[in-house]
Structure 1
Amino acid sequence: MTATDLHGAWLAAMRRGDFEAAWAVNAAVLAAHDPATRDDPRLPYHLRWVWDGRSFAGRHVLVRCYHGLGDTLQFARFLPALAARAASVSLECQPALVPLLSRMPGLARVIAFDVAAPVPPSECDIEVMELGFALRLRPEACPPPTLAGPPAAALPPGTLGLCWQVGDWDKAREVPPALLSRLAEARPCVSLVPGRAPLPCLNPDGCPPGIAETAALVAGVARVVTVDTMVAHLAGALARPVTLLLKHDADWRWMADGAASPWYPTMRIHRQPEPGRWAPVLAAVEADLLSETG
């Protein structure tokens, strides 16, 4: 199979939740790698492969985080299982996540990743998104780790946390904030988006930019309603009830269909019936949430 074929087979397996089949593809890709290209400095960090396939049992392991903030939060669940097998585990993660992930038990060090000066290799290096395959553990076997800190402040009962905006990766994931106006008018809401809120919110100036500050807001709301961005992973990792609004051709991690996610037990998924159509999604969310007492 070509590299394109293997990638397609992996995507298909992940979208149907067949992790064993996805790991088989991972194993084939790993076997085909040229060892000389491991952690290749000529490649952008997110395109590098790191783990060489050798056992990490009894070895000092460095987990590198070369992808997005949401990716790190999603796969951090495997760190305690890794720590149970390794001599020690150090985590090199995005600076914004250091305060949050430093709360995880079992880690020897949590280091801010400096792209200009990465930490030297350890006895065993692995990228955080390789952990599920390396450990052969399904997400259900490793619940999201306990990361919750204290809420920012007492919020009215039933308060919703709203996130309608994403970064530059895929603007098709965004929801026009006007479509959330009925929720914002019917329930107390806080914005989880930086900057002035275009909706009636308890924090009209928007969410502070720091992850720790966002986590404190998320910890205090009754439910998060969010598009596919870091906030979805943050809410899931904090074990908060979260409603995820997905575009039609959603990312592999959310499976091909269904309202539940094996990654986050507290998540409820609403999917576009057709590309670009958000109105039916928000109508279904409103039917769910406006009948709740909070």
Structure 2
Amino acid sequence: MSFNTLARFDGRVSIECPTPVLPLVSAMSGVEAITARSRPVAEDTFDCYVPLLSLPHVLDFRAADLPATCPYVLATPSGDSSFSARWGNGLKIGLIWSGSAFDRTRNADLAHFLPLLDLNAKLVSLQKEVAQDEEQQLSDHGIENAGSAFRHFGDTRDAILALDAVVTVDTAVAHLAGALAKPTWLLLNEPAAVRWMMHRADSPWYPTMRIRRKHEGEHWREMVIDVTREIAREM
């Protein structure tokens, strides 16, 4: 969600967004956030209206045009202080193993992410929906279940800012971590969504993101083992 191009037009730019996203959009420059309602906003309120995902077409935007200017999601004045104080010093890694139920091929299991325990790090679950058996696994392995208490994406943002890196499957949090310029390892099943393009280990949207694509016959756990080794070498 970077609206600087639109903001250059002589006028007011507003975005209607779901309530959980409102804290993020409200903190962005050049745009006014409007809470999404059950009824559409009156047409006479604006001169023009465009769905968010149609903007690249309307603006004739290409991948080469991407400024890759991150972070473009801003912190609040309170920042990440509460999470930083709670988690202390040392390496801190956030993880998400499951996202949308509409495309389960993107999702792994919590057990697949346990190789991250080999790091001398504080592991934090950013997962909003956690099953009962997963709660027990998190507790058994000393992984903090932070995400279950998040009220909105503003809380998710503040938690990510207090971390050193994020390891995630294809979820909204992957985009948020990238937009915050946080080192992010994105684990993709193939075929992946078109937004991640093909055969790339990076993303033009997010300069601090690395993409690890699942090879034929490979298991999620093997991917996480590789990522764990990378983090150990670099952090």
Q: What residue is the counterpart of 2:42 in the other structure?
A: 120
Q: What residue is the counterpart of 2:122 in the other structure?
A: 188
Q: 1:238 to 1:207 in 2, by over 3 A?
A: farther
Q: Which has the larger radius of gyration?
A: 1
TM-score for the superposition, normalised by structure 1: 0.68
- Per-residue CA distance 1:178-227 (angstroms, 9 max, x = gap): 12112134221110013436233452464423211111111110000000
Q: 1:198 aligns with which of 137, 140, 150?
A: 137
Q: What residue is the counterpart of 1:153 in the other structure?
A: 83
Q: 1:256 to 1:92 in 2, by over 3 A?
A: same
- SS, match of residue 94 in structure 2: strand
Aligned partner letter, 1:83 = A
Give 1:110-259 correspondences, 5 Å limit: 110-114=33-37, 116-121=38-43, 122-139=46-63, 140-141=66-67, 143-144=69-70, 145-149=72-76, 150-151=79-80, 152-154=82-84, 155=87, 156-186=89-119, 187-194=121-128, 195=130, 196=135, 198-199=137-138, 200-204=141-145, 206-209=147-150, 210-259=152-201
State the distance in 2 between where 1:223 and 1:205 align. Answer: 15
Aligned partner letter, 1:147 = L
Give 1:90-105 correspondences, 5 Å limit: 90-105=14-29
CA RMSD of aligned residues (A): 2.0
2:4 matches 1:80: yes
Q: What residue is the counterpart of 1:73 in the other structure?
A: none
Does structure 1 retain, via aligned residues, the 8 Å contact 2:93–2:122? Answer: yes
Q: What residue is the counterpart of 1:6 in the other structure?
A: none
State the distance in 2 between where 1:204 and 1:95 align. Answer: 23
- Per-residue CA distance 1:199-258 (angstroms, 9 max, x = gap): 334524644232111111111100000000111011011111110000021100111112
2:188 matches 1:261: no
Aligned partner letter, 2:33 = V
Unmatched 5+ stretches in structure 2: none
State the distance in 2 between where 1:205 and 1:198 align. Answer: 14
- Per-residue CA distance 1:146-203 (angstroms, 9 max, x = gap): 3234114223322100100112121111112112112134221110013436233452
State the distance in 1 between where 2:146 and 2:203 align. Answer: 32
TM-score for the superposition, normalised by structure 2: 0.84
Does structure 1 retain, via aligned residues, the 8 Å contact 2:124–2:146? Answer: no
Does structure 2 retain, via aligned residues, the 8 Å contact 1:208–1:214? Answer: no
Does structure 2 retain, via aligned residues, the 8 Å contact 1:161–1:191? Answer: yes
State the distance in 2 between where 1:260 and 1:277 align. Answer: 21
State the distance in 2 between where 1:265 and 1:159 align. Answer: 20
- In the alignment of these two chains, the number of paired residues is 215
